[in-house]
Every structure is written in structure tokens, then in C-alpha cells.
Amino acid sequence: MIIGIPKEIKNNENRVALTPGGAAVLREAGHSVIVEAGAGAGSGFSDDEYAKEDAQLLPSAAEVWGKAEMIMKVKEPLPAEFGYFREGLTLFTYLHLAAEPKLTEALVQHKVTAIAYETIQLPSGGLPLLTPMSEVAGRMSVQVGAQFLEKNYGGRGILLGGVPGVPPADVIILGGGIVGTNAAKMALGLGANVVVIERSAERLRYLDDVFHGRIRTLMSNPYNIANAVQKADLLIGAVLIPGAKAPKLVSEEMVRQMKPGAVIVDVAVDQGGSITTVDRVTTHSAPTYEKYGVLHYAVANMPGAVPRTSTLALTNVTIGYALELADKGVIRALYGNPPLKLGVNTYQGHVTYPAVAEAVGLPYTGLDSLLPIS
């Protein structure tokens, strides 16, 4: 199979879909890897490093997209890339289609087989290709939140951990999954008062155990959320429903009641956000906006700010699935790997993931009805 790695074009997106080491794995298995020149530079990987692994360097994105049978990316294609879509192309990347109706329509129109990293799901419910970026984003949410709490960035002028004789900041985390757990770990490590709000009693028990009672846990309901949000210095949205839009848990009125100079970091913004006042996506070059005296951070590609770490972590988990797709071909790989099959969001002009179809208002078609008989 010919696997193409184009350069990411999203604002300040410095990750790349495959490291030179990943290219070596695919090449050793007999596949061809073509890389757009400069694609790895933002993550610290030179063209020479790819060339040493026998990857072919091409000067333009158009050539990479045009020659590849499978495109591996990091972020969802932008409108400037829709013209590269064609029938028979396999796209393997983060898609978050529930918040991207135009992209979904373009994939359907051009009959692209689009496999989303974020909906590949294990029988346990785990999301193996989303987990490392959730870990990065969860940890980053506290770093950036602590920074924007500084007065010169528009925040309250609070040190997250306080000092002796001065109380620390109150960090409220909505969601106790991978993002929320990693955010709690970082916030607790910096000395903040940490509250995690989660709808699963089992998960709350787990968090109470692993943090040895050092964080406060609350069951998710409107009353608890409203009371906690009002006290927050830093509010982190860490809610995920695989493939679907994030539920709106924090109302506009709740945000109005927050302290002046408090900070919101909504990690779920690429799935529509869980805080009502997060009504736009921001970028690393202009990461925040103010509403009701509260600073909102809504960058959809947070891990792009730490691309070296993120690219290495991403390749660690994607390479096995990419190798299976390349070795067996898409259809045989899907039949042999149920978690991978759940990653297929569009196929042969149909939306094949129910939560995506519901979110974008397109018909849902079960993938099994479209695949040839095995």
C-alpha cells in the first residue's frame, strides 16, 4: 500500500501523523511511504530522517494526496483539502465529525473511507488512539489554565498552588475520564484544591481510591455543577461521548456567576464543547476570549503546542492499526478487527457511525450492510 503523510495546515498544528521510526516499520513490511517535504519539521523530524528510512519526499500536498492510497493525518481536513478527496481513498486521522457537518458531507460526496482515530473502541470501552492525546490535553489544560490565571493574561492574578498562609486556587473538572484524571493529577501536583464532577459512581470511586481522597468528587447533576462552577478559579471541561457532540453541562447563567478573571479551558471544544459560552473555536495564535468577565480558552488542537511529545505518543498507538490496514487491505482489516471497524465514520458515500449521523443530520447506514460478504 502507498501511505501518504501530508503536512498539517491547521493553525499552529505542528504535529505530524508519522515519525521516521513509524515510516521504517511500514517500509520494512513492504509498503511505500510518501511524505510532504517539511511535514515533520514542527515536531523536530527532518526530511533527511524520513529519507534515511526510504520514505519518498514530495514537494507538495497535492502530490502526496494524489498518489497515496491511504492518507494518515493528525487533524481533520480543512476546506482547502476537500479538493483532494476521491473515491477509493482511505483517510486515517482524528475527524470529530459530529462538529463538522461540511467535512462529513464532503467525505460522503466523494465516497472516502474515513476512519476516525477517536472512535476506534475496545470491548472494554477504551479509546486506544484517543487516549494519548487526551493525556496530553488533560495535563496541558492545567498548564495553560495556570498561565491564564496570571493577571497579565487577563486572569484573577492567582497562583494555582497558593503559598503558606494563602489558599490555593479552586480547580473544577467536569468529567473523570482520561482528560479529567490527567488534569486532576497535574492540578493536585501543583497544590490546587481539586474537585472532579463525574456521572459514573464507579468512576468516582476509582478516582477517590487512586488519589487517596486528596481530591473531592461530586456526582454530576445541575445542582452540583452550578455550585461548583460558581466557586471555580479554573474550570476544565473534560467531557467525552465517543463520536457525538459533547453535552452542554454549564449554562450561560452559571458562567455569569463565576468570579471575575476566572478561566475556562474546554478540552471538549473539538466535539462542540461542554460549556455553553464556548461558542467559538480559538487557535494557539489567539487562544482566548473574554465573556462575562471570564477568560475562555477553546483551542481545538491543544496537543499541537507540544508536538514532539504528541507525535511520538500518537505514532506509538496508530502504527499497529496502520500496519494492519496496509498489510490486509481495508476490508479484510475491518473484518478481522472489531475495534478498528468502529472507527469507520464514512464509507462508500454513507455515514456509518450513528452518533455522527445524528449530529450532522445525515442518514445512518450500518457498515455491515455495505461491506462485501466475507
The label of the residue with cell 464556548 reads 278
DSSP letter at 119? G
Check residue 155 and report its DSSP letter.
S
Q: How far apart are CA 32 and CA 50, in angstroms?
A: 12
Our answer to whether residue 266 is catalytic in this structure is no
Q: What are phi and psi of 212, to 5 degrees?
A: 55, 40
**Which of 170, 233, 266, 270 is an active site residue?**
270
Catalytic site includes residue 270: yes
How far is 64 from 359, CA to CA, in rounded Å? 31
Which residue in 96, 110, 296, 350 is the catalytic one?
A: 96
Crossing angle between the packed helical segments 131-148 and 307-328, to the nearest 10 degrees? 160
267 is in an annotated binding site: yes
Is 72 one of the annotated binding-site residues?
no
Query: ∠ CA(310), CA(315), CA(316), 5° rounding?
Result: 100
Asked if residues 249 and 241 have their Cβ atoms less than 8 Å apart, the reply is no
Check the annotation: does 332 bind a ligand. Answer: no
Query: 269 among the known binding-site residues?
Result: yes
Is 1 known as a binding-site position?
Answer: no
Is 256 among the annotated ligand-binding positions?
no
Q: How many whole angstroms separate alpha carbon 346 and alpha carbon 51?
A: 33
Residue 290: C-alpha distances to residues 94, 234, 260 (Å): 28, 14, 10
Whether residue 299 is annotated as binding a ligand: the answer is: yes
Tell me: is residue 203 an annotated ligand-binding position: yes
15 is in an annotated binding site: yes
Is 86 one of the annotated binding-site residues? no
Q: Does the annotation list 216 as a binding residue?
A: no
- 324 marked among binding-site residues: yes
CA 245, CA 248: separation in Å to the nearest integer? 9
| 280 belongs to an annotated ligand binding site | yes
Dist CA 132 CA 311 (whole Å): 10
Element (H, E) at 296: strand 294-297
14 carries a ligand binding annotation: no
* Cell numbers at 51, concatenated: 529519507
Number of helical H runs and strand E runs in the chain: 13, 15
Residue 268 annotated as binding site: yes
Say how far apart CA 372 and CA 368 lie, in whole Å. Answer: 8
Q: Which residues are annotated as a binding site for substrate?
A: 15, 75
Catalytically active residues are 96, 270
Q: Which residues are annotated as a binding site for NAD(+)?
A: 134, 203, 220, 239-240, 267-270, 280, 299-302
Q: Which residues are annotated as a binding site for Mg(2+)?
A: 324
Q: Which residues are annotated as a binding site?
A: 15, 75, 134, 203, 220, 239-240, 267-270, 280, 299-302, 324
